[in-house]
Chains A and B, each alone.
Chain A
């Protein structure tokens, strides 16, 4: 199970590849403004810029970067800085290659070896005395700090319990025919869960539409259905990404049935999963 911090979902959002009228887009735009998400979102932005600078983006994502992602001047400046830094480090790499201290050369050091040994011994004695004294004084202070820290931690734990994600992710990779004996994926829905974000890895890449429907295990009832286009990554992997209201589910076993039509006929795959704790 993945959380809203799913980097790929954030990437799709930042590249403008989610439906702007969709609930998933709206929820993402709200939740990634949270303070705790800043580093994750910024690092995804950096990653996009880095791949753009290195030329490793596929044509589709490159177009999304140029026509959408780089519209704000702040991002254009970020791109320029990334290029400047890359260029700077390429040309000055040798300047920083000895920063670990192993190669430091200090020509005057040999003249002070004798005095150095004496001074070092004196320093060790003084430091030991200071240390013993500090340990005695510091123990009491540490005990107080520890008690304070424990109180703070238990407070944070209580806060963390009260904050539950409104989105739960479900990743489906193997369909029923590929692993009939394998345990099926499971999701736990909390009372706060509003949407289930589903990602289905497809065996064959291609931009043809897929018909997806949600059925109960017996295949007697269809609870939800949609026609969807796959997302294809730069490596050629194809996935379907969509979201379903959490209220659709009860604690039971379900299956997403994915159908597509090609020249060779209609292909249908069943992706089973189990829902627990639904309202």
Chain B
């Protein structure tokens, strides 16, 4: 496993101390690190930062740089979150107005081979969905205009309301996205 944040001008000793600060147990320390990483990257994404992973690395750089003074802090997550907020403020000050019009995504991957593989993976992952999830997904995307609105209303009624439908759809999409990513990784190796 490669831990982000280790590639910078940090000493192995300092990073080791940081992991020890997270937990005395190696396995727990890595799990805690991954949990902090997931939360902080999510924070930077919510703040619409253009490189959340890089800002996470910067946060860890700062924390590791102060590791010898951190023994008194009992909550590594709270401390890292405080540093992350400062890193975000700094990023906000340096942020240049960026137009994303040219970068707005298109459904087809520029590499036709990858696109082909992506469709195969999507098909494979659709087949792996439970029958009820697949039905909800297909019905959600069926029809056009007014018929689509009516169909979604019926779906929402059956699932306990509009918000319940939105959350169900969000989970299905997330599941599919992760499945397709794993399938593409597997096919690339």
Query: Which positions in A face B, CB cutoff 8 Å?
Result: 7, 13-14, 16, 20, 29, 32-33, 39-43, 46-47, 66-90, 92-93, 96-97, 99-101
Contacts and interface: CB of A to CB of B under 8 A. Distances in A.
Interface of B: 39, 41-52, 92, 97-101, 103-108, 118-119, 122-123, 126, 131, 134-135, 137-138, 141-142, 163, 166-167, 169-171, 173-174, 176-177, 180
Contacts of A33: 39, 42-43, 46
B49 A43 contact: no
A208 B105 CA distance: 35
A141 to B, nearest CB: 26
A233 B30 CA distance: 44
A83 B46 contact: no
A156 B168 CA distance: 24
B177 A81 contact: yes
B132 to A, nearest CB: 9
Contact of A43 (B51, B138, B170): B170
A66 B101 contact: yes
B29 to A, nearest CB: 20
B46 A67 contact: no
A82 B101 CA distance: 17
Main secondary structure, interface of B, reads helix
B138 A67 contact: no
Main secondary structure, interface of A, reads helix
Nearest to A32: B46
B122 A14 contact: no
Contacts of B122: 84-85, 88
B93 to A, nearest CB: 11
Contacts of B41: 74
A46 B163 contact: no
Contact of B49 (A29, A72, A87, A88): A72
A67 B134 CA distance: 34
B15 to A, nearest CB: 24
A224 B150 CA distance: 45
A42 B166 CA distance: 10
Contacts of A79: 104-105
B46 A14 contact: yes
A97 B139 CA distance: 9
A83 B173 CA distance: 12
Nearest to B142: A93
Contacts of A39: 167, 170-171
Which of A32, A75, A85 has the most chain B CB atoms inside 10 A of its CB? A85
A20 B177 CA distance: 31
Nearest to B44: A72
B45 A72 contact: yes
Please name the 3 residue pairs, one residue from A and one from B, whose CB atoms are nearest each other, closest first: A80-B105, A83-B107, A43-B170
A46 B169 contact: yes
A135 B24 CA distance: 47
Contacts of A78: 177
Contacts of B51: 72-73
B176 A75 contact: no
Contacts of A74: 41, 45, 52
A67 B100 contact: yes
Contacts of A89: 137-138, 141
